[in-house]
Structure 1
Amino acid sequence: MLSHLSRNAGPGLRTCAWVGVLVILALNLRPSLTSVSPLLNDIRSSVGMGFQMAGLLTTLPVVCMGLVALLSAQVESRLGEGRGIALGLLCILLACAVRGLIDHSLLLVCSALLGGLGIALIQVLVPGLIKRRFVGHVALAMGIYSAALMGGGGLAAWFSPRLASAFGDWHVGLAVWALPAVLALLLWLQTPWRAAQALSADQRLSRFIRNKRAWTLALYFGFSNCGYMAVVAWLPAYYQHLGWSSQNSGALLAWMTLFQVLAALGMPALAQRMRERRGLLSVSLLSQLLGFSGLLLAPQQAALVWMALIGFGLGACFALSLILSLDHLQAPQAAGQLAAFVQGFGFLINALAPAVGGLLRELTGSFAATWLLMVVCITLMLALTQRFSPASYWRINTNAQQPPSTAACG
């Protein structure tokens, strides 16, 4: 029992137990998204769904992630960490399970909405949990969390089309992801929870509304990571249009995820040793830039190389941009609220990528315009990266008149 372990084990064993909990939670946060894209052509032909409506299967969960993150203060004070994460897992479980039964486009969209709500509830609570449970190792813990999150997405992209092919039914490839949600929920119910706590005025999300640095961080998180949602939504369809099978295009998404996981583990481990984040962030963005350029100009010639570059860049950017946000404040609750603000508006920006990609596909007959848009976004984020020197972290403190003597550091 985790509650017994937490009371009686030494610090090292307790930390390992919490790492296990973190990994199992994170593994459930992307399969409901990435299991759809390799099967999208089958789903569309089965239920009669256009590209724009199909894009909602990815867009709506991301919109949920953004909106719930902006309501994180209410989630934290009313549900607390324990009940909030339990409710999130239950939503994911139900969303995946009902996909095994429904055969209507509107109901599929509703399942995406329910799954997105569950993902969002967990995502807004985990950064604060990490900041509190992994004191002195926040960057490394965030890397493990990010790697597990992306690994779950890659596993779903690889396994779902194979399972659907074996059973001759796409419903099975989507519904199977209710099983890990059941496991995670049962485990979480054994975990010692933190009770709901009201936030003081200086810890609420509203404190960041008029803060320019908070908005800069949110825009940076959104545009530097929007390539992930574009790839998850449309990469398999793009390669299927080029003649690839659903299994091979899903495997390509899984291949990309392998490099996301490596970057999400490796780059935060490097970040743990330094206060300066700009160099690592620039390398991550350059990797994305090269990958999307290759996807645009020579998709067939070196597909594995392009996807490896994109995966490495996305994996590193997700983890490092969250670490960058947590760096700005020392108090765990306040840092969690800043991360929620950044994720809230950032995910709303991310949500535009699948919708815009679907629209551009219908207007141009190709996904090339989507990859070009990603190239432009990443180029702009490379320029913005230079503004995030450690000496500038104090700007997040709305009442501060000068930099503190010691900047908050992950």
Structure 2
Amino acid sequence: MAPTQISMITTHSLLQLLTRLPHRGAATPHEREAAQLLVDTLAEAGAATRLMPFQTPKTYATVVYWIIGGLLSSIVLVISNGFLLQQVGLVICGIALTQAWLYFNWRHASVVTWPVQHTALNVLGQWPVADRTPPTRRVVLLAHYDTAPVSALYNPKQQRDFQKSLQLSLGVMTLTAILLLVHTAVGLPAWGFWLLGLVALYLVAQAILGTVGFWNQGYTNGASDNATGVVAAIETAKRLRENAPPGLLVEVVLPSAEEVGMIGAHAYWQANKGRFAKEAATTAVINFDTLGAGKLTVIERTGTVEMIHYDSPLTQLARDLVSRPAFQNRAQVGRWHTADFDSVWFVRAGIPTLALCALAPDGTMPRIHRPDDILAAVDETPMHDAVDLAEAVVREWCATPL
């Protein structure tokens, strides 16, 4: 099913409005402008809307500095040879290492709540059941609207090796703890101190490489990542409102601070996890992320060291649709191990979830976290394909007995 001409004009207009802002960085004035634009757009489409404030660091630089700063501080304290200082250093090292393993395996880490905190906004919109009867099913259409800091770690070569890079970094951080424990227990030989020095240099280099792009160039415009996802989520909601499946309640959730660590989505999840637990069998979540270049991809697995499997009935429906003539040349099934999606909280909780993005033939997302992620570089084809596929999945899900 091809998008109608009216639909194409509407989606392109919203895409233009979102990308006219220089960026939509979490907890910035431009984020608030974007939030108001999205509230107005949802309200015009007939949704009941609200803003959900939550606390977050502005960028992941804060988190990286806390973790690496903690590890470097622990090295200094442990090699000081004062017993009390050594014990304090080991405690700091343990805390920093634990936070790193949680954060880079896309679990909630308390480090994201450490200073400095700012207020960001999730945008929520909900349409009632079309015939005003009690809802029997709920679909949550999820897409973050904040934009990423520019980062050298996301050039194409680095992106292809991002999972290995994170695994290496976690390995080096773990090695730090092992060396410090050995030094405290029996002392390190000369080569051990050299190794510890190399570890410290590696950690400093990673902190610089991961954040220097932001300090030099600020945020990306975020046309593909993720204005396209936002437009796809809203357009899918509009489509589902036309000839709506009986008993379907449609909700659009547009989180901020995804680029900090899926924090806005986690705040939404925490506020609603009781409802999701009760309605797990009748709830579906579809996440749209970065649909401005490449081929529409149904994600089947993510993760760094711990693997996260997207194998719910919703993903199975999408896989089946991708094999049919209507979608077999427009979409594919794939994996994504460079960071994760807002949907991670729902997948881990066993909520039926589908994650859609667009990937280049080499498995990368073109231009993400880079200065050239602008509207002129966007190919809207995968965005429209995502809307078509998401609508088809929801309609088939609604027609499937629970």
Structure with the higher strand share, 1 or 2: 2
What's the TM-score once normalised by structure 1's chain length? 0.29
Bigger-Rg structure (1/2): 2
Q: Which has the higher helix share?
A: 1
Give the TM-score normalised by structure 2.
Answer: 0.29
